[in-house]
Amino acid sequence: MIAADTSSLVAYFNGRSGVDAERLASALAAGDLVLPPIVLTEILSDPVSSTAIEEQMRQLPTLEIHDGYWIRAGHARRIVLRKGFKARVGDALIAQSCIDHDVALITRDRDFRHFVAHCGLKLA
């Protein structure tokens, strides 16, 4: 199992190349891709997203939210913010979903590196 961030999914569906797009393609082909719930929300809320992309996203499994998730996500964000780094709420929610399930994240968003360094997130 491997998770994908919105930044990599958008790049992949727009035909951009990169290590993340290659990993995402492999995970999709192997049936190993899962989505943090917030990523599904971000993709489906894109006003220019196609129906085909939406249908594909709906078919992918999402990571379950466990008890205490919102508290852990808040604490993780606070840790990163206290270190003086940028930590958007959406990124904290994505990171915590992956941490809770011990799933690596495919992303091209460099802001996740702070969750790696200080909260235990694994990147693919």
Instruction: Give the tens place of pLDDT for each residue, 71-123.
Output: 999 999 999 999 999 999 999 999 999 999 999 999 999 999 999 999 999 99
Instruction: Give pTM, 2 decimals.
Output: 0.93
Left if phi > 0, otherwise alpha if psi is -120 to 50, otherwise beta: which for 103? beta
pLDDT for position 55? 86
Q: Could you tell me the maximum CA-CA distance found in the chain, to the nearest angstrom?
A: 41
pLDDT for position 48? 78
Same domain, 19 and 49: yes
Range of the domain at 84: 69-102+109-119
CA distance 54 to 22: 20
105-106: strand order across its sheet: 33-34, 2-4, 105-106
Considering only residues 72 and 50, tell me which one the structure prediction assigns the higher pLDDT. 72
Same domain, 8 and 55: yes
Give a yes or no: residue 64 inside a domain.
no
Helix 37-44 / helix 51-59 crossing angle, nearest 10 deg: 170
Average pLDDT, the chain: 94
Give a yes or no: residue 52 inside a domain.
yes
Same domain, 90 and 113: yes
| DSSP secondary structure code for residue 66 in this structure | P
pLDDT for position 49? 74
